[in-house]
Each structure stands twice: as C-alpha cells, then as structure tokens.
Structure 1
Amino acid sequence: MAADGLRLHHRVRRAVRSPQRLLKNSWSFVATFFGCAKAGLVALPVNLMLSPEEVAWLLTDSGTRTVVADPASLSLLEAVLPLVPALTTVVLTGDDAPAELAGRSVLRWDDVAADPTPLEVVVQDRDTLHCMYTSGTTARPKGVLTSHLAVYVAALSNAIQMGHPRGDESSVLLNVLPLFHITALDTLVVPVLLTGGTVVLQQGFEPDGFLDLVERHSVTHLVLLPMMYGALLASRGIVGRDLTSVRLCVYAMAPLPQERIAQLATTFPNARVLLGSGQTECVPGTVFQWPSHQETKAASWGPPTTTVDARIMDPTGRLVPPGQTGEIVYRGPHVMSGYWNNPAANSVAFAHGWLHSGDVGHLDAEGVVWFTDRVKDIIKTGGENVSSVEVERVLVSSPEITECAVVGLPDDRWGEAVTAVVVPADPGVDPQALTERLLSHCREHLAGFQVPKRIHVVTVMPKTATGKIQKADLREQLQT
C-alpha cells in the first residue's frame, strides 16, 4: 500500500458543506495519509473534538514534530503550539498560509505535495503506519500502533465482506464519518480506493444534502450510525428519490431495530443491510453480521471475518467452548502492534497470547459471536448481571425514542440501579408520561431485574466524534 498510495487518491471526490478545520474530511487528508505511508512516516490523525490541552498532550506523548492542518485551524494551533515545544513544522493547506505560526516555520501543502524529488524509502510490512489514540474516557488515552500489514490485510478483508469489486463495477462510497477515526479511514475509505473505487467525502451530516449526493454520484455503499439512518428515513426529502444505485447499507455503534432495517430495505430496494463491529486495537471490521442472520440471529454480531480468529476466554486464560460466556479475544494480522510507550497496558491487552477486547459474549455452535456488553458496562444489580445492551435493544425498539443509553448507578439497595437515558422522537412529549410508557414496554420484554429503576429524558447525549455515546460522562452527570 505504501508504494501505491499516491496513485490511489486521485479518485476521491469532495463534497464540503461546512468550514474546514484541522484537516476535516477532504481529499488532502487522504493524500496526506498515503504520502506519510509512502515516506515511511507514522500518521497521527487527531480527534477534532478534543480541547487544545488534550491535543497538545497527544502531540507531546507521541513525539510529533510536524502537523498538517487546514487554515481554519489557525486559532487552535496558536493555542496548541506553545504547549508542544518539540513540534517544529506546520504544513497548511490553502493559498494564504502565513510565513510562521507561534514561532514555527509554515509550509504550504501544495508546495510539499508538488516536490518533484524522487522518494525512495524502504517500508517494511511490520513498520507502523499510524498511531490512533483511544478515547481515554477513564484514563489517559492510549496510542494504538498499527502496521502497514494490519491495515492492508484488513482492507482486503473489508473489500471482500462489503463487496468492493475491482473493475467496471467498482464501488462508490459516500463517507460522512470523520477520517481521523479508524472506521472511516481503514474500514471504509482504504478498501474502496484499494479496489479502484470512488470515495465521496462529506463534512457533517444533513439528510437532504446526503441524499442529493447519493443520487448525483450513483453511490453504491452507505455507512451511517443508526440515528443517522433514522433521520434519513424521517426526512420528507427522501420521497421520490432514485436510490436504486445503493448496494449496501452498513450500520454500527448501536442496535438498529428490525422495523428500521425493514424500512431501509424498502427505501433502498437493491441494498443489503449489514451490521459491522470492531475496535481500534484490531483494525475493524473484525465481525460482520450476514444479512441472513437478521432473520435467524438478529441480536448477534455475526461471525468473525476470514482474517480474524475470535474466541471466548475465561478469567484464567482458558479458551471456553461454544455456549459459554467470557471475554471476546482476537488473533490475526488485524491486531495492533501494541500501545505506544505503555508496557503495562500491553501486558494486560495481550495476556495469554490473545488481544483482549474488553467485550463480554459467547460463540454459538456455528461460530457466530453474540455480544453481551462491555466488561465495564455490565450492571450488577441485586445479585444479577444485566447487559446494558440488551436493555437498550428493547428501549430503542420503541418508536417514541431516537437514542438511548443504559448505565448502572450506585444504589444502597441494589448495589447498582439499572438506569436509562433516552432522547425522545418528539421534543415536546411529556417526560413523565413517556417514562411510564417506556417502563411498561420494558416490563413486556424484559425480566423484572432488567427493567430500569429510573429513566431520564434528555434532549442530547454526550458523544465522541464518531457518534458513540460516552457512558462514563453520563454516569458522572447523573451522579452530580
């Protein structure tokens, strides 16, 4: 990939609907990524939702010497640069780059990219391609080191799984997820470019504008969060659209009710609907639900990809047989090389020779993975273990809410009280009446100990840049 990267990015199209800052979704982001790969440099995509202090910590911890950014990020850089003395060079896209910034020399991106000097760098397959920091919701973020081989094999695996043929029928992907996240970059964009397809990049998500791009570019592949699909289906602008080009609708991060999957199948008549799962430490996707499983094993994650070995391990390090619950562990070329400068975390992550995911689940007789919950999100209430995901799946099946999260809060009687936080579909709904209806809905579909003790109705959830609800923040907010 390093040798061919700069030949691949020419088929990236751009669709910008908001101001650029710090290399948001753009063709220059993709070209910079492949340029780093070819030059044997380690790319460090930065989460744009972080504060200047958090960005400075990442750059200092990683030993970053050069930053590539958009002109709109000048104020952010001015706040960050004094905090990172080792950072010496700034590269800015656009035509109006200043000569220097906070005492650092500034180069124009176009000048760097147009340098005709032949680049001859030997890049080994196990060399680090990029470092991506985890969200760090409970501790300092950890830098995940991923090799060229891991990204390349994952790209081939994803191309097979998602149906990206090379040739006249190559894929057209419309990507709205942030490229600084491993899902958008490695799981979505790289496989399409590797097989000669086209990527349309959009900044921000707005249903009608998104649908315009689907029609204009005859998009074949969509990847959205469940709440985004809900917004699409609820948009009046979806009526009368020609969406027959779409072959695959992928979702992740949260459950998608069967009713909504059926709506998607009707709206996109030629598309399959696919659930994908994975994590930064094992380049996603690691597990894909086959479309046929939506009828037979709808609550499952599906089987692991052909290039990932997924097993279940008990606390002693023993691999357990199908049907037994334990921690999901992985092996294979997708797995990270390790955490940057964190031997203690590496010892825990690779204990007993497998990558520990932090997810609890089991395999069935056919090797299909059934996810129970994150280890840290299992709720222990009244002597019983409750899967927050199972409760969330029941809540989100109600058409009255668009999003939900379930957490455990300290409780003198129960140890932990099952607590739900929901965002209503109708902002003007009476919260108390909605709560009573949702509790009744839960009592119909859950055991008594699984039914939430409390339901909080809110207008917005705390989220990461990729749309994942931050349960740690919810717990903190609810306890204050």
Structure 2
Amino acid sequence: MNRNLASDLEQRAVSDPDTVCLTFEDGRRWTYAGLNAAASALAAVLAGAAAGRGHRVAVQLPNSPELVVTLLAAWKAGLVPVALSGLYNQAEVRKCLDQVRPAVVISAAGAAPGDSAELPPATVARIAAAHEGTGPVPAGPALAAPAVAAEDEGIVLFTGGTTGEPKAVSLTHAGTYTSMSNLVRAQKGRPGPLPTAGAEVPPNLLALPLFHSGGLQSMLVAFHLGRAALLMERFSVDRIARLVPQYGVDNLFLLPTMIYDLVRAAPAPDLGSVRRVLVAGQRLDPMLQQEFEKKYNVMVLSNYGSTELGHVAGWTGRDIKAGMWRPGAVGRVYDGVTLEIRDGQGNALPAGQPGEIWVRSQRTLGYVGTGATTAGDLVAAGWIRSGDIGYLDHDQVLFLVGRSRELIKTGGFQVWPAELEQVVREADGIADVAVVGLPDPRLGEIPVAVVVPADPDADADELEAAVIGHCRERLAHYKAVRKVLVLDSLPRSEVGKIRRDELESAVQERLGAGAEIR
C-alpha cells in the first residue's frame, strides 16, 4: 500500500491525539491532533486556491511551525509542495518558479517573490498560531490525505544540476516513504511506524533546513518513529548549547559543516545527553570526525545518499558492535536498497571494482523543467544514477573513491561550476573563467574562480574583490566564489574543453588547502 507523506501524522492524531509532536525553539508546542487540525485548516485554503489535485505549491518559508504545517497541508490537499531555499535571492527564486510553474506561491511576506502576476500568492502567517498549544482542538472534521499511487509526485526539492542551474527533483510519496523506512529499519532493527514514544523520550532535534532533503527526512522520520520533533529556525552553536541540555536530546543529524563548528566551539556546548550523531550531506573528513568524537565522547555515524537517491548506506551502532566497520567505508548498504556498481557502458561490475553507483528506486521521477518532468540522464528503467564513483565489498559495504568531477559540495549543499561561471563572466574585465572546488576544513569544499583578465595588466587584488562582490550580489552566499586566482590562460583540450584535472592541480599548487578564504 502506498502511503501519503501525511499519513503518519494523521494516524497518530487518532491514536495519540494529546501527545506533543512538535516543539519550536521558542517553546511553542503542538499535539498530534493540534498539528493535524492546523494542517487540515490550511489544506482547505490551498485546495481552493490551487487548480486541482497534483498541482504544485511553491513554499519559501524559514524553518518554522508554519513551514511544517504548510508541507503537511499540501499533502493533505492532494497538492505537491515545492520547497524553495530561504537562501535564494529574488532572481534565483524566479528561475525556480519558472521551472516548476506552481499554482500557488507561499512566502513569509505573504506574496510571491519576483514578478509573479501569473502566480496567485498566499500566506500562512497565522494558520499555525491559530492552533498553537496542547489545548482543545477546534471543532470540525479533519481533512484526510488522499490515497496515492506509486508514481504520484509527493514533493519537489532543488539540488545541483548538470546544466549548472539549480535542478528541481521530482520525488514520489511512495519512494520517499520507502527510503525513510529503510533508514528507520537500519537504525531500529525493525520497520516502522513504531509505537508513539512517551513523554520521557527526548525529541528529535531538527537542525537542518526543511528545504534540504536531510531536514525534510528528519521531520518525516520523527513522525514515523512516533517521537516528538524539536525544530530550530537555523543551526547555530548557541542554539545547540541551549536546546540539547534543555530537552535532553539524545541524537543529532548534522551536516559536516555543523560538526566543524561544534569542534571549534569555545566554550564547547554540553552534549552530555547525546549518544550518537548521524552525518550526511557530504563526506566527513576523518580527522574532523576524530576531533569531534574525542572532544564530545560521542560516536559519529555516516549516512550516504542524496536528494535523488534517498538513504542508501551507512553505519549503525549494531554494525559497529558486530565488527562490520571498515575503515574508509561510508557504510553498509541498507536492507531494502538495491544497488549496482556499473561501468561507463552500464554493465554491472563485481565486488571490489570501482564504477558509478546506481540505485534501483521508485523515489525519483526525474528533473522538472517548464512544468514537465523528464527522467533524462537521471533515471533509466527504474534505476537512478548517482554520479558518484565507488565499489562494494562482498559484505555489501560501500566505499566511495570519487564523484562527478564538476560537482562542488560546500557545507552540505551542491554547487555546480557552470552556474558560477556564467555569473563571473558577467563581471567587468573577465575574458575567461572556470570554477573548481578547493578543499576546506569547515565547508568540505569552497568554490574558487580561475579567471583570465581582459586586461593583462589588471591588478589581481582589485579584480578578485570585484569578482567576489559581483557574485555575492547575485547568488546565495554558499554559492558565491570565495577566492579568485588570475592566470594568463586556462588549460583547454584541442576541442576547447577545460582540462579540469590540470586546473585543479594549478589551484592546489598556487593556493593550497590551507589558503586564507575571504
């Protein structure tokens, strides 16, 4: 049976209506019944504003109870939420809206960003607050989420794309739910949904943004496990220092950037209640992991996956106790996940041989563009290609040895060089440009622009300042280049393509991994 992504909440609103399921960092709380009622109220509004079931609702809200209610309301109304990053500027939001063509746009300001005459705006400014707390639920029937088919679109999330622009990934209800269930089975040793936890069980802390696939999954997993969710507006060491001991949080789901900040924090926050940390988003530097575990005496476990793939592999406490841990591995392939390592011709490779990682899944329908959804190079006969290079051992333990060379992962977010190159080319005085990733101890990688000036006598420092300023005005901060290297020419092949290996070697030689970043 395929489940709507609002199903777990609805079932617990019946079985455990008065149990608190959501707490915001400011102390406001919602029971399962209260949250379900709030989502039902907004669902009725959205159903009237949208043209019909299956239509998309673009949402650009910060991490907040309003955002949680809006996502649930869209699913209950049979609509498809499109989660837009709060870090996007107006031009980036406009591009995203042009790709997905939503029927409704919801933003914190109560109006659609940019030129949106064709897109009726809506607001949820007080929908959640109207049903705040643990008191009586307003009278009226709760709207039930419609049944879904295996191929029904459940949510659209934005991630990096091969054309250089942010890519809208269409994910199904069924595939997203299955991926979540695989993770829960791996962590708990049995499938969910699990019995609703009692008040003595600490909440799951939602530290990632809900427009990020990791943040969204954290929210859904909490409902699936029957554990309350504690929502942060955004990550900061100060918030961790306050909320973890206040609520006795016993587990954390973090990005490597957050691990870095906690390792460098002085004074160190009290994480005495935390028993384990799960890290996703990008590979965690082994030395950073060791520093964190030594400083906080907490085990760090990895989780390999992506927006497109879902949860694929990782380590659990049981794996470690059973002696299955392998140095350098990202983890054991989760039960329920079918994975193949393939060569460039699409042939499956045996254990020990590296190739591209492919995962069989109904999670991803493909990329969305101008209202249409196409599988393209992402999905082939039910298999999703990762773009990552790795290999399996005979125990289904997965090792990563590389990835698509152009993709830059910075702070857990994906950045594609082509998008940055297009922006840099628009700056004054630039004749040629290529963008590469430079290793960074905090962010994993940072984007570096290698430019050829139009004027050979141009001052390198002035050009660098101009390019960085130009990017920061036009891009979300995590995308903007952090360093500029000036060369007389870029290494190109005989057909004009950038030789990225040579370029990256030149950047490493000139700047080094410890270069000062502005």
| Structure 1 residue 151: Cα displacement | 2.0
Q: Where does residue 303 of structure 2 map in the other structure? A: 276
Note the C-alpha offset of 1:275.
0.8
Residue in structure 2 matched with residue 98 of structure 1 by the alignment: none
Aligned to 2:248: 218
CA distance in 2, matches of 1:339, 1:288: 26
For structure 1, the 5+ residue unaligned runs are 95-106, 380-387, 421-448, 461-480
Partner of 1:124: 148
Q: Is the 8 A contact 1:312 1:328 kept in 2?
A: yes
**Counterpart of 1:60 in 2: which secondary structure?**
helix
Any residues of structure 2 matched to 1:363-442 within 5 Å, and which? 363-377=392-406, 392=439, 396=441, 403-404=444-445, 410-411=490-491, 415-417=499-501
In the alignment, which residue of structure 1 is the partner of 2:86? 48
Residue in 1 that maps onto 2:95: 57
Whichever residue aligns with residue 6 of structure 2, its letter is A
Inter-CA distance 122–282: structure 2 relative to 1 (3 Å threshold):
same
Letter in 2 for 1:275: S
Aligned counterpart, 2:117: 85
Report the CA distance between 1:208 and its aligned residue: 2.9
Give 1:190 deviation, angstroms.
0.8
Query: 1:288 pairs with 296, 314, 320, which one?
Result: 314
Q: Of residues 240, 246, 254 in structure 1, which corresponds to 2:274?
A: 246
Shift of the 152–353 alpha-carbon distance from structure 1 to 2, 3 Å rule, reads: closer
Q: Deviations over 1:340-365 (max 9, x none)?
A: 35889513222365211111111122
Corresponding residue of 1:147: 172
Q: Which residue in the other structure is 1:5 paired with? A: 9
Which 10-residue stretch deviates more, 225-234 or 163-172? 163-172
Taking a change above 3 Å as real, the CA distance of residues 176 and 16 of structure 1, as seen in their structure-2 partners, is farther
TM-aligned CA deviation for residue 408 of structure 1: 11
Indicate conservation of the 8 Å contact 1:145/1:340, yes or no: yes
Distance in 2 of aligned mates of 1:223 and 1:86: 39
Higher mean displacement: 362-371 or 160-169: 160-169
Cα deviation, 1:280-308, whole Å, max 9, x if unaligned, reads 1122x212134667995332221221121
Report the AA paired with residue 411 of structure 1: P
Q: Is the 8 A contact 2:339 2:359 kept in 1?
A: yes
Q: Is the 8 A contact 2:60 2:83 kept in 1?
A: no
CA gap 1:158/1:296 in 2 versus in 1, 3 angstroms: closer
Structure 2 Cα separation of the partners of residues 44 and 114 of structure 1: 28
Q: 1:329 to 1:417 in 2, by over 3 A?
A: closer
2:118 partner amino acid: A
**Residue 459 (1) aligns with residue 485 (2):** no
Amino acid at match of 1:13: T
1:202 pairs with one of 232, 241, 245: 232
Q: CA RMSD in A?
A: 3.8
For normalisation by structure 1, the TM-score amounts to 0.70
Match of 2:213 in 1: 182
Identical-pair percentage: 23
Q: Does the CA contact (< 8 Å) of 1:25 and 1:203 recur in 2? A: yes
For the residue of structure 2 that corresponds to 1:411, the secondary structure is coil
Per-residue CA shift, 1:316-340, capped at 9, x if unaligned? 121111121211100034x312333
Query: How many correspondences in the alignment?
Result: 389
Unaligned runs of 5+ in 2: 14-18, 28-58, 132-136, 409-435, 451-489
Shift of 1:22: 4.1
1:326 maps to which of 346, 355, 360: 355
Q: 1:30/1:238 Cα in 2 relative to 1: closer, same or farther (>3 Å)?
A: same
Q: TM-score, normalized by length of structure 2? A: 0.65
Report how far residue 135 of structure 1 moved: 3.0
Q: Over residues 343-390 of structure 1, what are the superposed CA-to-partner deviations in whole Å (9 max), with x where a residue is unaligned? A: 8951322236521111111112222221122223499xxxxxxxx99x
Question: Is this contact kept in 2: 1:64–1:86, CA < 8 A?
Answer: no
Structure 1 residues 345 and 87, CA, compared in 2 at 3 Å: closer, same or farther? closer
- The answer to whether the 8 Å contact 1:225/1:251 transfers is yes
Counterpart residue identity of residue 329, structure 1: W
**CA distance, structure 2, for counterparts of residue 339 and residue 412 of structure 1:** 30
**Displacement of 1:402 after TM fit?**
7.2
Separation in structure 1 between the aligned mates of residue 99 and residue 159 of structure 2, nearest angstrom: 13
Q: Which has the higher helix share?
A: 1
| CA distance in structure 2 between the aligned counterparts of 1:252 and 1:371, rounded to whole angstroms | 14
Partner of 2:326: 297
Q: Which residue in 2 is equivalent to 1:104?
A: none
Distance 2:238 2:339 in 1: 39
| Distance in 2, Cα, partners of 1:155 & 1:44 | 19
